[in-house]
Structure formats: C-alpha cells, structure tokens
Chains A and B, each alone.
Chain A
C-alpha cells in the first residue's frame, strides 16, 4: 500500500523544489524575454503601427455598438487588420525596391494576381502565397468562417489591393467574378457576386440585413447615404459599399511625402492610411450573427517613416525600461522571495513537523490500542469458539441424554407392560392356587368323611369280632353240636379282624392323605400369601414404572428444551463467531493499515525533520 503522507511529503518537497525551479525559471525567462523584446523592438516595423477607427455595429439595427476594446471579438478583428498591416510592413522592411503607390511597399514580393482567394481552414486554395500570406489567409479563414474577411494587400503590381479572403467549406472556388478598378493609381478589384450562391448566400439571413457599412476610417455608409446600397442591404451591399468607398477615397491618393499626407479628412481619406480592415460578425449565444465589427488599422506611420523612428525610439526606450525594471524585479524576487518564502516555509515546516509528531504519536497510540483491540478480539474469538464448542457438546450430550431418556421411556413402558403381564399371570396363579386350596379343603373334608366311615367300619368290625367271640363261646357251650358253629364263628372273627386291620390301614392312609392335604393346603395358603405379596410388589413396580416413565418424559422434555436452547445458543454463537471473525479480520486489516499509517507517519516525520533541517540549512 502506498503511503500518501509520505508521498505528500515528497510532493511537498518536490513542490518546494518546483518552487525553486519556478523562481529560477522566472528569473531566467524574464531576462531573455526582456532581451528578446528589446531586440524585436529594434527590428520590427510594427512598433510604428497604430490603430484607430474601430467600431462595432449592429447588423440588424445598424447602430454603433460600443464594446470594450479588450473584448475578444474586437481583438480578433483588430488582429486581422494588424496582421495585414504587419504583412505589408514586413514586406516593406524587406527592402523591396519596387515602387509602389504605397510608399515603401515592395512590389516583387506581392502575391499572385489572383485577387480573390478562397481558402479553407488548412490554407488550401491560396496558391503562390508566401508563408506569411498563407498564414494570414488561413487565419482569417479560420476566424471568419461564415464571413468574408478583407485585407488590403499588395497586388501584382505592388499596389495596394483589396483582397477578399473567404472561407467556404462547401464550395471551393471564387465568390464571383471581379473586375479591376483603377482609381488614382490604387488598383482595387470590385467583387461582384457570382450568379450562383456564394459566400453571401451562405450567410445567415439576418446577416444580409446590414443597414450600414462603415468604412475603415469609421465613416458610416448607411443605406441612405450612398446610392450604391440601393435596395440591397445585404453583405454584398456592404461589400460594394466598402469598395465604393475605397474607390472614392482612392480618387485622391496622395502618395509622396508623409506627414502632411496623413489623412485627417474623412472626405479625402487616404486609402493607404487605412489599408487593412476586417469585418467580424458578432454572434449571440445561439450562433446567430447579431452585429458586425469593422476594424481598420491605421498605417499612417508607415507612410511617414521619419515619424516611425521617433515613435520606435520612444517605444523601444519604454520597452527597454520596462525590461530593465522586469529584470530588476525578477532579480529582487529571485533574491528576496526565497528569504521570505523560506522563512514562512520553515515556520510551516516546523508546524508541520510538530503536527506530524503529534499525529505520529496519536497514530501510534491508536495503533497500540488497535493491536490491543485485535488481541482482545482474538481472545474473544477463541473464547466464543470454545463456548460454541461447549454449547455444541452440551447440545450433543443433551441429545444423547434425550435419546437415552427415550430409550429408558421405551424400556420403562416395556417393563410396565411386562409387569402388567406378569401381574395378570400371578393373578391367574393366585386363582389357580385358590382353586387348589378349595379343592384341598374339599379333599380334607372328604377324608374326614372317609374317616367317619372307617370309624363306623371299625365299630362294625369290633362288633363283629365281639359277636364272633360270643358265638365261639356259645358254640363251646353247645358242645359237639356247636363245634361247626364255632368254626364259623372263628372265620367270622378272622374276617372281622381282617376288616379291622384293613380299616386301620385305610385309616392310616387317610391320615397320611389328610396330612399331605394339610401340608398342601398350608403350602397353597403360603403361596396365596406370596402371590398377594407379589401382587403388591407388582403394584409397587407398576407405580414405580409409572413414576419412572413420568420422570423420563419430564427428562425428555427437559432434554429437548435444553437441546433446542443449546442449538439456538450454538447458532447464535456461530453468528457471533462469524461476526467476531469478520471484526477480527477488519481489525487486522485496520491494524495493518494503521501499521502502514504508522510507517507513513514515521516516514513523514522523518521527511519533515529532513525538510526542516534542509530549510534550516537553507
């Protein structure tokens, strides 16, 4: 990156160098210019030129319009006339020996016979013209464009001749046929309009409504003042009027000794005294000609060379004094200005140096503050990134917790369902056990009945045994007749004993069955109690599962909330991280810029110190 301050300092330094160079150039240019002016004054016949008779006239109204002589249009017109005179003077000064009605006007360097020239802006169309003439014609053509410029130039015979220099881009050629006018030794060509459209036709309409034409001496040739105008109030009329006036003026040429021949009478105006004039249209901002400037240059001094010398001497003396004064002024400026300027510059550089020092200090402070800010931003970025990672970890952990809670909820629901199934199974077992218990009670009751029956059988057996014994006793009492009965009684008694033994065996079995039944019944009752306990445990388990499920649901909702909050926090922190990173980047860029600014300030301070030292040394 460039360092504008340093560059500015260098620029200022260069500017100071330029100032020195400018002062030196001023000093170096003024003297040569003065010398050149003196030399030019010494050799230029233009020093004797004088201008007079200038005016500005409205094209539409014909009234004279007073304008400032320093206006552009006037100066332009004046330049036209002066250029014409200058050309002629140069030719005269060239020492042309050819006699001319115009005294001193050489005839050998006269332009070709073509008296009517049409040239374009590049000067084409003006053959056999000298470079000066070509320049003049081109200049007039460029300046005139849509107007006709006139210049009195030496003709083929060296006589002053009115030339029309026109610029007609669309039509190359002459404006029209012309004819020579001989009048008092002054050859003029009266230009008449051609049959076809020429320059004048190309002029704007309003330019044709010239009410008056002013002669070079300021004589106003109004329409009502000359029959030449007739009803023709166009530029052609003005042109004709001008020629007519020239012709009229040329009727009384007074070549010869100057001085007395200087025309001072308007009626006998010497055409040679005003041999150059020009017309320029004045245009409004829309380009429409609204006035015509007629300017002529007076060449009376040319007609009176003895007057030229004193005039030239005076002018040369004046210009010489001016040049000497300029040289002295330049030398004074060259010697005094640096003192003044350097003093101011040194004060300025001191102030700039101090300002730059303060600026550098401020910039360094800002740079340090910016570095600290960048460091804080980096720390903040790191912390925020860590926080974001922690938030993401929390979100992940909470998500895993929510997932585990969901699995726990599922397991709890499954366990609850299984507990319900087990509870139903236990209830069914309890029903079965109760049925078994009832059946066992029924079995025990039946066993009791069997015992009763067995008791009755036992009683019968005892009774039978008693009867059999008594029968045996009776049989013995009966003697021999009762011997068979005794045998029967004995068999009966044996049967009774068997029945009694069987009854007792059955009784034992029944007792064992009753014992087993009682044991089974007791076990069944114990089973029923255990089943009741199991049911109670199942109810507690179901309640516990319900609580677990409720807690898991609450945990899941909480986890989802935490997860969402953590996710939002993570997103927010991500945005914060991006913003901080961008801020960090901007801060880094700013810090880098500040570093460059610091370097630039240092460079500027150093250059300021150098400049200050330089000025002090200077």
Chain B
C-alpha cells in the first residue's frame, strides 16, 4: 500500500502535464489510467466468480477470446468496492487483467483531479498483478 501511494505520488509528479489518460472513477476516487496500459473499455458482461481468491479478485471473464482476470479497482487500491459497471481491459502486464470501475470520466486529466495515476510501471510493480498473486496477495485494507 505504501508503494502504491508512492507510485501514485511519483506518477503525479513525474507525469507530464496535460497528458492524455483515461480518467475513471472507482470507489469514490478518480483514477488516471495511462493509455499505454489501457487496451479497451467496455460494459461489464457476465463474470465468472473465482472462489477462494482475494477480495479484489472479482472473477474471470471471456473477452474477445481471451480469459481475463477481473479485479475490483476500488478494493485493489484500497477504496470502496465498485459497482462493476465499466470494464477497463489492461495491457502490457504479465497477467491479462481487467479492472472494473464505476464510471468513465474522460480521456484526459487536464484539471489534475485524479487521485491516483496508473501507468505501466506502477501496475507492473503492483503485487496483486503478479502471476499467482490473486490467491495470496491481500488487499491493501487487509494488509493494514
């Protein structure tokens, strides 16, 4: 959790101003996702729950022929759980992952309203996005 806050803070400070990103809302917070890690957005469809996983693990989903691990962005970053309306498919990670968020806010964060910047590095370093971490990595709230 500490890392995450670090990465987020560093992102906010390192990221170029007016950079394009996908601004979403999850667990009452705004997240700025770099377009480099976003493959596609779409409506949440049928999710197959996975028993015995972490709390941020929602389940598995079939997406364009791929099996994606669906994570709750709110719970993953230590916020409230999401309503599971929008699905943000990530790319460039070692695990095919998709985040569920509450809403798609926009495609830029020019006002700097994002609470957390999610770029490729941050996501790649996130322990929950490591292979096999779904069943063992606790959520930030749980770690606390």
Contacts and interface: CB of A to CB of B under 8 A. Distances in A.
Interface of A: 462, 465-466, 469-470, 472-473, 476-477, 486, 489-490, 493
The 7 closest A-B pairs by CB, nearest first: A476-B35, A472-B107, A469-B41, A473-B38, A470-B40, A469-B104, A473-B35
B40 A473 contact: yes
A465 B20 CA distance: 17
A477 B35 contact: yes
Nearest to B104: A469
B64 interface: no
A473 B39 contact: yes
Given A472-B20, A473-B39, 20 more contacts: A465-B104, A469-B22, A469-B41, A469-B104, A470-B40, A470-B41, A470-B42, A472-B35, A472-B107, A473-B22, A473-B35, A473-B38, A473-B40, A473-B41, A473-B107, A476-B20, A476-B35, A477-B35, A486-B20, A493-B107
B43 interface: yes
27 contacts: A462-B43, A465-B104, A466-B41, A466-B42, A466-B43, A466-B104, A469-B22, A469-B41, A469-B104, A469-B107, A470-B40, A470-B42, A472-B35, A472-B107, A473-B22, A473-B35, A473-B38, A473-B39, A473-B40, A473-B41, A476-B20, A476-B35, A477-B35, A486-B20, A486-B107, A489-B107, A490-B107
B interface, over-half SS: strand
Nearest to A490: B107
Interface string B27-66: 0000000010011111100000000000000000000000
Contacts of B43: 462, 466
A486 B19 CA distance: 13
Contacts of A490: 107
Contacts of B107: 469, 472-473, 486, 489-490, 493
Nearest to B38: A473
B20 to A, nearest CB: 6
Nearest to A469: B41
Contacts of B41: 466, 469-470, 473
Interface in B8-22: 20, 22
Contacts of B42: 466, 470
Interface residues of B, number: 11
A465 to B, nearest CB: 7
Contacts of B39: 473
A462 B35 CA distance: 20
Contacts of A486: 20, 107
Interface of B: 20, 22, 35, 38-43, 104, 107
A498 to B, nearest CB: 14
A469 B41 CA distance: 7
Nearest to A483: B20
Contacts of A489: 107
Contacts of A472: 20, 35, 107
A462 B44 CA distance: 12
Interface centre among B22, B39, B107, by most chain A C-beta atoms within 10 angstroms, is B107
Nearest to A471: B107
Interface centre among A462, A473, A477, A490, by most chain B C-beta atoms within 10 angstroms, is A473
Nearest to B39: A473
Contacts of B38: 473
Contacts of B104: 465-466, 469
Contacts of A466: 41-43, 104
A489 B20 CA distance: 13
B43 to A, nearest CB: 7
B98 to A, nearest CB: 14
A466 B38 CA distance: 13
B128 to A, nearest CB: 23
A295 to B, nearest CB: 192
B76 to A, nearest CB: 21
Contacts of A465: 104
A490 B35 CA distance: 14
A447 to B, nearest CB: 26
Contacts of A477: 35
A486 B41 CA distance: 15
B63 to A, nearest CB: 13
B59 to A, nearest CB: 21
Nearest to A468: B107
A490 B108 CA distance: 10
A469 B105 CA distance: 10
A511 B39 CA distance: 38
Nearest to B85: A462
A387 to B, nearest CB: 104
A384 to B, nearest CB: 109
Nearest to B20: A476
Nearest to A474: B40
Contacts of A469: 22, 41, 104, 107
B93 to A, nearest CB: 16
Interface centre among A466, A469, A476, A477, by most chain B C-beta atoms within 10 angstroms, is A469
Nearest to B107: A472
A473 B104 CA distance: 13
A228 to B, nearest CB: 204
Contacts of A476: 20, 35
Interface centre among A465, A476, A490, by most chain B C-beta atoms within 10 angstroms, is A476
B29 to A, nearest CB: 19
A419 B131 CA distance: 89
A462 B103 CA distance: 11
A256 B39 CA distance: 233
A120 to B, nearest CB: 183
Contacts of B22: 469, 473
A477 B36 CA distance: 7
A466 B24 CA distance: 12
A470 B40 CA distance: 6
A232 to B, nearest CB: 198
A388 B35 CA distance: 123
B122 to A, nearest CB: 18
Interface centre among A465, A472, A490, by most chain B C-beta atoms within 10 angstroms, is A472
Contacts of A462: 43
A470 B41 CA distance: 6
A20 B41 CA distance: 180
Contacts of A470: 40-42
Nearest to A459: B43
A394 to B, nearest CB: 95
A250 to B, nearest CB: 210
Interface centre among B39, B41, B43, by most chain A C-beta atoms within 10 angstroms, is B41
Nearest to A477: B35
A455 to B, nearest CB: 14
